[in-house]
Structure 1
Amino acid sequence: MEALGAAVNILSAIDLSAKVGLLCLEYAKAVKNAQTEIAQLHREAVELEKALTDMQSLLEGADKEKLKSSQRLNGALKDSVMQLQMLEKRLHPSTSRKAMSRIGLRALKWPFESKEIDLFITNLRKNKDIILLTLQVDQTALLLEVNSTLSSLDQKWVLSRLQIAAGASFDSQAEEHNPTCLPNTRVDLLNQISEWVKDSKSQKLFWLNGMAGTGKSTVARTLAQSFSQSGHLGASFFFKRGESDRDGLSKFVSTICAQLVESRPTLALHIKATIDSDPHVFDKTTREQFSKMIVQAFSSTTEDPRNSNPTVIIIDALDECVRQEDVELIIHLFSHLEPSRIKVFLTSRPELHIRISFNSVQGTYDSFTLHEIPRLTIYHDISIFLSHELARIRMGYNLSVSEDRKLPPDWPGELQVQTLTEMAVPLFIFAATVSRFLADRRLGSPNDQLQEVLQYQAESRASQLDATYLPILNKLVSGLWAKQKEKVIKRFRETIGSIIILRSPLSRSALGRMLELSRDVLDGQLEMLHSVLDVPPDDSPVRIFHASFRDFLIDPEKSESWFWIDTKQAHRYIALRCLNLMEKNLRKDICNINRPGTSRLSIQQQVINLKGNTNLAQLLQDAMRLTLANLPIIDSHPLQLYSSVLAFAPKNSIIRQLFQRYMLELFSLVPETQDDWDGCLQVLEGHDNWVTCVSFSENSKILASGSNDRTVRLWLVDSGQCLWELHGHERPIVSVTFSQDSKLLASVSEDGDAQLWSVESGKCIKELNRYDDWVTSVAFSFGSRLIVSTRQDQTIRLWETGNEGSSQAYKGHEGWVENVVLSPQSGLAASYSDNIVHIWRIANGQLLRDLRGHADRVTLVSFSRDSTLLASSSYDKTVRVWRVDNGDCVQILRYKATVKALTFFPSSRLLVTAIYSEIQVWDIATGECIQELSGHRDWVTHVAFSPDSKLMASASEDETVRLWQVGDDERIRNKNSSDGSMLAWTVSTNRALIASVSNDHLQLWRTDNGECTQKLKGHDDSILSVTFSPNTRFLASSSYDGTVRLWKVDTGECLQTLEGHLVGRVHSTVGC
């Protein structure tokens, strides 16, 4: 009714204000002595009419129900109507129209005194202001509602983009049945942490540590629940070993972000903007994710003055995060968190790497050690817990049994509770596990179970874990004979061993399929372990309740125990089971695509089916080579594995020979290929122009390449994946180099621009071209503290990586400084200008000696790994090798053109150079070229060895980088005289002989002196497998020629050839 009244009054007021306005216009024409008052009244009437019209439009609009304030304006509207009625009556008396018609407008007289009209104007203005203010209130409410709707949409959009670690939050289903602190337990500790949260001057971190089973996670869940109710909780993350999303950082930041967006919706707008600007932000490093999604989000939002509560983030069980580096990173990131309104509560065991990490951020955290709480306090808390649980168990049991079987009302009695409490202190996990054990009806009555537990009273913590878990495990073998025990224990190790080492937990059905166990057998194995395993009734994953159970089972000191699990054997067992599953179920074109040209984008999953009983190590090595060599095409078009990849594999490739029937189905003419794999492991493609330089990180895990396309790429060496593509240079790259700690990369472009990059984030952290002249190269000294840059102002400069100022400048060159190279060991630097090489001492900048002898400009220099030799190349088409200690030239190598790439072999006895598209390996002592590597299609521009000496990288103008497998000096020197690489080998039963396979023949070697005693030839194709007879007198070999040959070991004579097999189908032999 109130809203209806308001609408009626608005219509009346609009009509009256219009009339008053028109009357004012008539008076303005006729009355000259009151023009000011008439104009003011007219203006107020018109403005009131506009305000009322606006209000009418809103009250009749779609949002009329939302205009709560406007619907309560009856007072102001009634007063406006009354004021306007009085004005109209005074301005338009009943006789006025007759008077005006009789004597005209000139006869009108202004009916108000000055003070009287001022009062009317004031009242009208007051009512208008009330109406306008009310409109603003309602409009503001509407805008806030719209903004809230938009924020809600932002929130939903962000949440839809974030990957969540299932089960990580305190209120997740996975944590639902895990306990919280009972009332009147942990009182002092919980109060202390609550005060820490409220105290604005307290440290930003609180570390609760304690040994396994002391109740850290229970405290964390209790706090999370409490802070959630009070509005303090921003996010929680409960790490759990063995769950792929919860034992690492792959989804850590995104999970924290999602919870923060739900608890602090104002953050959604910034996070949405971040994702919009960088859709792949969650593929970046954890550090960058944390900075953009958490630090910057809080920094960009203003604190609500009505809510000064800090935002608390709870992180539980840091020790269950698998990688120690990740734990260190978490502590570092949160300790440097800038927003003062964020506080972080963390729990963990006091393991060494965690203590070290916290010690490195001293002054940023408070801490508390659970197992140092006074024993009396722990005793009190555990006693309350046990009394509560035992009462619950007694009640549940008594409700389900007949009267004569019920437990006494005071069961188990005060003395028994005291004994259990003494056994438990300080391990809450003992109390929790024993409670589950007593409640498990499958194992017997609670009282019988209690008596078993009481037999394990102990003093040490190790004994406490025995008392916690042995009563449960011993039930598995109780009353069994020795052979029955062995069978049960074997099944236990296979089943439970698999559960505790799995990267991600599996459901019972998945476990059964993997372990090849029926549901009945598996359930029978698990049904007596519900006290230590969470076995859901549905198809959810099976999990251990507490990490201490895993610790107990794999403890090396318990290796003599029936229940000890050898993790290596457990991993081996799972691997064999998985291989068996793949052997049975995988096949070619498992997705039924049928067309080799189909892109991977349209295929959900593709696997290859490897059949045949070939030597596993040999097979895997060949598969690795095949995969690395063809990674780009396999990644984009997986079915090419069965066609072009096979067709271009070496003839002796095991994979090619196993699958050659697929290749022959597609090709009528197979391309000619090399017989065996060469030294090139992988070709890295991606640059759009010449690759000019390469450099390995000191840990040999990352390769950097610079290109004429003005980018630097960072590659993962083991997989060939491009980790970062660095943009920022405006000209082609001429030099890249890593710091000694592998954390920084320096790059130089041909315009003299030098930039310093973070390897972890891929971001440019500093530009080094602060001088007017160009930088021509950059190198790092030991410790990564100094950057050595050569310049075309004929100087070398040394500066600190963390300091903007240059520390020293060394002069002494007669021309531009083309490059500088640091020695690996002796603290020397070599630079060159014109045809002279200069050797410097880095520590003091002393010029030690000049190396003269080249007839034209020097183009490259390189130190040997042991820093005793230095090689230099020149436009005079020679390479000179110099002794560093005295400057003597010990070797001169002559070429037909200028060498483009130069480096020493890791042994320092061989030299690698490149000319045209070929790479040559030289014996420095003799000056002989002992090996040539081909494969690039254009000039090789750079070569570099990995610090671990396993790989060599070569850059080329064909826009690729190739990775080569490195052998030792002797292997390279003897390569041309060998009969072929060893593809497989086996050892005789008496360990006296080794039989090795080299393509189509065998060799026998004595193990005591390495002497080759026999060469066995006769097969017409590659040999697949070889085995000795148990008495070592005979040797059997199978081959792709379809035969098995039986050899006499002492003479090498072929005793018999077994024929009749299909070609290519003899994969194994068994010793006779």
Structure 2
Amino acid sequence: MHAAQPERCTALGPSGPGLTFPIVREAEFDSFAEQHNARCYEGTRTELLCQIKNWADDPHGEVIFWLNGMAGAGKSTISRTVAEAFANPKDSRLGASFFFKRGEGNRGNATLFFPTIACQLARKIPALEPYVREAVDTDQAIGKALEVQFDKLILQPLSRIQHAMAVMVVIDALDECDGEMDVRKIIPLLAQATKILSVRLRFFITSRPELPIRLGFRNVQGKYENLALHQIPKPTVERDISAFLEHELGRIRDTYNGYALEELGLPQDWPGRDVIQTLTQMAVPLFIFAATICRFVEDAYSDPCTQLKEVLKYQTKTHDSEIDKLDATYLPVLSQLTVGRLDPQMKRSLTEFRDVVGPIVLLAQPLSMSSLARLLDIPLRAVSNTLNPLHSVLSIPSKADLPIRLFHLSFRDFLVDPTKRAGEFWIDETKYHRILFNRCIQLMRQHLKRDICGLQLPGKLRSDVDQQLIDAALPPDAQYACRYWVYHLKESKSSIQDGDPVHIFLTSHLLHWLESLGLLGHITESIAITEDLLNLLDPADASQLSAFLYDAKRLMLSNWQIIDMAPLQVQLERMLDDARGPYP
């Protein structure tokens, strides 16, 4: 696994070499990253899905359909189902999709949101190609303000299409987009689709009903349809969750009976209607509860009956609030880590859990188990042993070089909640962001050096450098460190000053770091990263570091395009002579 080159839109340019630009391929509903995530179980959510289809079919319907609901209510499952339905050849209305996901690089921000949508629309509507090409090539729309991107990449190109057609865009988990102002700005921009006359553009959006999103919708009254999942009648939700539980637990029973001794097999009516009904009441209205406890019961190393009994112990804690339901979702899984252990063993287990899972839930982008072990400087076997009991809350591939992902963001929210609902499993965000920052600095010191890939020729184009050569010099953990070390520093609530580890690192490795970002195709990120560092300066004791960073920023602004094309051009170190000593 590597994360070196950003995905690029290659749908454009059939008449020549074509224009390409960066996009977030993994944000699309049918991407590799999304392929195993759930769709609505057959026969569930039927009334809601029918309502969405009726809205999409109505030529006079509102531009936006906003489906909102609390964490774990099943919004993303509905989004994937809607996207799949409209992508079906029998309908073929899906023009684009973007599934935001916090903690997964550019899936967690709006940087490449509109370029990704524009690329998919150009694939869907070939007539858009020259207009998007013009916006990227002539207007330099990529990287501009959101309103400029929307106007140049989407609004103007679609307005120039002559033939009438209906196009659906699915946007999931808008609340997971970092930057409140970006979120508030995106919503009224999408509402401007009413200006497009020939193409009937529709946006299906899901999110939690958080304040920035509610404020965004405040300015588009009359241009969107709104449905809150908690408004769906409780009997309907109960019916759907019950059907899901009956199907999944029946499948678990049949699978278990397929390999268990005949004498130890589960009865054909297991777990029984009463248990299904109890579990349904524990779950309503959170589908994430039903999905998580089914994965927990199915644990390959445990007996389903024993696992189910553990879940049922929490039934008295699910009546007061949805928060208590999330407790009951995750505590049965976590309690298995300490049950039956003596105090010293328990403390060791809790420390191992926090030291491995803490970083996983705080990473800016998922890492594989092997990369995580190197980043944390923990033996791979120790990481694997810690994660083994957590397959019901984390997606843990069987291969060590594939990324570990959270099944649902609510698990992260539960662990880092400052009210410490997670109790002894609570993750101190500030502490573990600081640990990740320190490890990123150490990794970069180990790996970064001048001409890291041995290219020798300063004019060597990045496009001519073999990706395997880059990955050998900069393995995924080092790539991660280069991109996100300042993110973890910022989230650790730290400041920086003269002579501290940041100052020492930059005076030794600034150009090495810029060269590496250039090789990875992420040199443009250096400008925003440097801005973050300037904002973290200790005003009382950072005069030397401040001057150094301002000079570094000027270097990046003046030369990022050259470095992006030929990374070794960063060897023009004379531009930094006034800020620092000779380049090592």
Q: What interval of TM-score do these two structures reach, taking the shorter chain for normalisation?
A: 0.7 to 0.9
On the 8 A contact 2:450/2:512 being kept in 1, the answer is no
Structure 2 counterpart SS, 1:681: helix
Deviations 1:772-816 (A, max 9, x none): xxxxxxxxxxxxxxxxxxxxxxxxxxxxxxxxxxxxxxxxxxxxx
After TM superposition, the structure 1 = structure 2 runs for residues 16-55 of structure 1, keeping only pairs within 5 Å, are: none
Q: Which amino acid aligns with 2:196?
A: P
Counterpart Cα distance in 1 of 2:167 and 2:92: 8
Task: Provide closer, same or farther for how the CA distance between residues 287 and 494 of structure 1 changes in structure 2, counting only shifts above 3 A.
Answer: same
Q: Percent identity?
A: 41
User: Where does residue 284 of structure 2 map in the other structure?
Assistant: 425
1:1049-1064 correspondence to structure 2 within 5 Å: none
**Residue 556 (structure 1) aligned with residue 418 (structure 2):** yes
Which secondary structure state, in structure 2, belongs to the residue aligned with residue 283 of structure 1?
coil
The equivalences for 1:276-287 within 5 A come to: 276-278=137-139, 280-287=140-147
* Alignment equivalent of 1:530, drawn from 377, 381, 391: 391
Cα RMSD (Å): 3.6
- The answer to whether 1:352 aligns with 2:198 is no
| Alpha-carbon separation, structure 1, partners of 2:30 and 2:424 | 38
Helix, strand or coil: the match of 1:197? Answer: helix
Q: 2:158 aligns with which of 255, 274, 298?
A: 298
Unaligned stretches of 5+ residues in structure 2: 1-9, 483-495, 518-541, 559-574, 580-584
Cα offset, 1:364, TM superposition: 1.4
- Shift >4 Å, 4+ stretches: 155-160, 592-595, 597-609, 624-628, 630-638, 676-680, 682-685, 721-724
The 5-angstrom pairing of residues 406-805 of structure 1 reads 406-442=265-301, 444-457=302-315, 458-459=318-319, 460-538=321-399, 539-558=401-420, 561-583=423-445, 585-586=446-447, 588-589=449-450, 591=452, 598=458, 617-620=497-500, 623=503, 681=547, 719-720=553-554
Identify the residue that residue 989 of structure 1 maps to in structure 2: none
Task: Provide Cα deviations, 1:847-867, integer angstroms capped at 9, x if missing partner.
Answer: xxxxxxxxxxxxxxxxxxxxx
CA distance in 1, matches of 2:275, 2:228: 29
User: Would the aligned equivalents of 1:162 and 1:255 in 2 still touch at CA under 8 Å?
Assistant: no
Counterpart Cα distance in 2 of 1:202 and 1:311: 13
Q: Post-superposition shift, 1:579?
A: 3.1
Alpha carbons 1:213, 1:548 under 8 Å: kept: yes
Whose relative contact order is higher, 1 or 2, with alpha carbons under 8 Å and at least 6 apart?
A: 2
1:576, distance to aligned residue in structure 2 (A): 2.5
Q: Is the 8 A contact 1:238 1:317 kept in 2?
A: yes
Corresponding residue of 2:176 = 320
CA distance in structure 1 between the aligned counterparts of 2:516 and 2:333, rounded to whole angstroms: 53
CA distance in 1, matches of 2:16, 2:74: 38
Q: Partner of 1:224 in structure 2?
A: 83
Q: How far is 1:594 from its partner?
A: 10
- Greater per-residue helix proportion: 2
Q: Could you tell me how far 1:231 is from its partner in structure 2?
A: 1.2
Number of the residue aligned with 2:490? none
Residue 198 to residue 523, structure 1, CA distance change in 2 (3 Å): same
Contact 2:415–2:422 under 8 Å retained in 1: no
Structure 1 residues 623 and 290 mapped into 2: Cα distance closer, same or farther (>3 Å)?
Answer: same
1:1004-1051 deviation line (CA, Å, top 9, x unaligned): xxxxxxxxxxxxxxxxxxxxxxxxxxxxxxxxxxxxxxxxxxxxxxxx
Taking the aligned partners of 1:485 and 1:637, their CA distance within structure 2 comes to 42
Measure how far apart 1:311 and its partner are.
0.5
Aligned to 1:347, the other structure's residue is in SS state strand
Structure 2: how far apart are the matches of 1:623 and 1:350?
A: 42
Distance 1:158 1:342 in 2: 30
Q: How far is 1:622 from its partner?
A: 8.8
Structure 1 residues 372 and 626, CA, compared in 2 at 3 Å: closer, same or farther?
closer
Alpha-carbon distance change, 188 to 155 in structure 1, aligned in 2, over 3 angstroms: farther
Secondary structure of the 1:261 match is helix
> In 2, Cα distance between the equivalents of 1:353 and 1:552?
21
- Residues 523 and 339 from structure 1, CA distance in 2 versus in 1: closer, same or farther, beyond 3 angstroms? same
Separation in 2 of the partners of 1:408 and 1:370? 36
Output the amino acid matched with 2:121.
L
Contact 2:498 2:543 in 1 (8 A): no
**Structure 1 residue 399: deviation in Å?**
0.8
The amino acid that maps onto 2:25 is A
Q: Give the superposition deviation at 1:292.
A: 1.4
3-state SS in 1 of match to 2:107: coil
Preserved CA contact (<8 Å) 2:171 2:204: yes
1:540 Cα deviation from its structure 2 partner: 1.7
Equivalent of residue 181 in structure 1, options 36, 40, 43: 40
Match of 1:856 in 2: none
Distance 1:275 1:429, change over 3 A: same
Gaps of 5+ in 1: 1-150, 610-615, 639-675, 686-717, 725-959, 965-1072
Mark the CA change 1:157 to 1:290 in structure 2 (over 3 Å): closer, same or farther. Answer: farther
2:54 is matched by which residue type in structure 1? E
8 Å Cα contact 1:600/1:637 also seen in 2: no
Superposed counterparts of 1:943-954, under 5 Å: none
Read off the aligned partner of 2:192 and give its amino acid letter: H
Q: 1:482 to 1:259 in 2, by over 3 A?
A: same
Match of 2:196 among 315, 339, 342: 339
Superposed CA offset, 1:873-925 (max 9, x none): xxxxxxxxxxxxxxxxxxxxxxxxxxxxxxxxxxxxxxxxxxxxxxxxxxxxx
Aligned residues: 494
AA of the residue aligned to 2:308 = L
Give the Cα–Cα distance (whole angstroms) in 2 for the partners of residues 489 and 482 of structure 1.
11
Distance change in 2, residues 1:270/1:581 (3 Å)? closer
CA distance in 2, matches of 1:617, 1:217: 43
Conservation of the 8 A alpha-carbon contact between 2:87 and 2:93: yes
Q: Secondary structure at the match of 1:311?
A: strand
Q: 1:473 to 1:355 in 2, by over 3 A?
A: same
The aligned residue for residue 65 of structure 2 is 206
2:170 & 2:367 partners in 1: Cα distance?
Answer: 27
Aligned partner of 2:101 in structure 1 is 240
* 1:268 Cα deviation after fit: 2.0
Q: Which residues of 2 match residues 923-942 of structure 1 at below 5 A?
A: none
